[in-house]
Amino acid sequence: MMKDFDAHEEFIHTLIIDDIDQTITSENKELLDQWRTSNEANEKTYQEFVNIQLGMDKLSTRNGQDVELSWEVLDRKISNQTNNLTLHKANRKIGLWYKVAAAILVMISVGYYFMLQSRYIVVNTAKNATITRLKLPDGTELNLNASTVVKYDKDFINNRRLELLEGEVFIHVVKHDGPQFILGLGELEAQDIGTSFNVVRNPNKIAVVVEDGEVALKHTSLNMEVRLTKGKFGTYNLDTKKLSSADNTNENYKSWVDKKFIFQDVPIGEAIQQLGKVYQMPIHISGESLKNRRLTARLHYQTLDSALHVISASLQCKVTREKDTYVLSNN
């Protein structure tokens, strides 16, 4: 079956689009994963599709563009220039180069560049995006949270440098014979020494938590460095220019990735704030007596409904849903 993939490029592109649209069947998902892991060129093709789709989503959210209408306009434009090619937005079963051409036309028409900045590939996730999973050309795996921007050189395999411009990313670096993996963080850089780690960058600070391995967090111009090993937490304050490290006490630092929560005698308000942020759904508490309750629980559920069901049973309260909001209240 794998040998037949190369002869059915359109079929593969269809699987990629279905995967991005989250309409792919489990059987086809398995086939696509096999194709992606068979060689680096296949994974690169997949990521190019993802980058284009992320850019189209960004156009829609930031610039108020009607993406469906944009495809229709592009269809008319390209149809006027070609006799044999037609853009079908209904199913988007098209060759990769053709979709890239369409995306470029959209970028030119609105003056917004999302995928290529000279030699760089930029990935920009929307404010309400679910977790975006990417694999870099060397096999390094990225999990991007919402409102996150990363970029890397198109020649990444020869420099292995990723830039986190803003947001949050969990990185699993793979062993590679090439240069050492480096994460650029503006004034800082994190040099990997075989590891998995979580990084947050916002206008005030940079925070790194190491899950496994070791990270060298450096400020080269100020000649400062801290070494972070498993279970360590490093921070850099952009105002005070202070770089420090400590033991990580936040057991839920990567709950946004794996949906695992550990609550040990915490105020219920604090717990639901974390849940609401991860599942991107507002949760309210009705009643002062319930607000004073504390929660001890271990949760690992892909849906917020399941997590709240456990909390409801633990605190003997009820959960209702009102439009796009969950409400916890006394029975």
Domain ranges of the chain: 1-110, 118-253, 259-330
Crossing angle of helices 26-38 and 9-20, rounded to 10°: 120
Does this chain's domain 118-253 share its CATH topology with 259-330?
A: no
Distance CA 103, CA 218 (A): 38
φ and ψ at residue 272, rounded to 5 degrees: -70, -25
pTM: 0.65
- Predicted confidence at residue 287, as pLDDT, reads 86
Contact of 217 with 237, CB cutoff 8 Å: no
Give the range among 52-56, 89-93, 124-128, 241-245 with minimum mean pLDDT.
Answer: 89-93
Please state the rounded mean pLDDT for residues 80-94: 44
Give the torsion through C-alpha atoms of 65, 68, 70, 74, to 10 deg: 170
Please tell me which of 52-61, 76-85, 86-95, 119-128 the model is most confident about, judged by mean pLDDT. 119-128
- In the chain, count H helices and then E strands: 10, 19
Quick one: tokens of 250?
């936040």
- Span 194-239, pLDDT tens digits: 789 999 999 999 999 999 999 999 998 888 999 999 999 999 999 9
The position carrying tokens 């003997």 is: 316
Query: Going by C-beta distance under 8 Å and a sequence separation of 6 or more, which residues neighbour residue 240?
Result: none
Please state the rounded mean pLDDT for residues 163-172: 95
CATH number of 259-330: 3.55.50.30
φ and ψ at residue 122, rounded to 5 degrees: -115, 130
Quick one: tokens of 292?
């004073």
What percentage of the chain reaches a pLDDT higher than 90?
A: 46
φ and ψ at residue 20, rounded to 5 degrees: -65, -40
- Whether domain 118-253 has CATH 2.60.120.1440: yes
Is the C-alpha dihedral spanning 325, 327, 269, 305 positive or negative?
negative
Q: Where does residue 119 rank: exposed (0-12), middle (13-18), buried (19+ CB within 10 A)?
A: exposed
Contact of 268 with 290, CB cutoff 8 Å: yes
Element (H, E) at 205: strand 205-212
Is the C-alpha dihedral spanning 236, 237, 243, 249 positive or negative?
negative
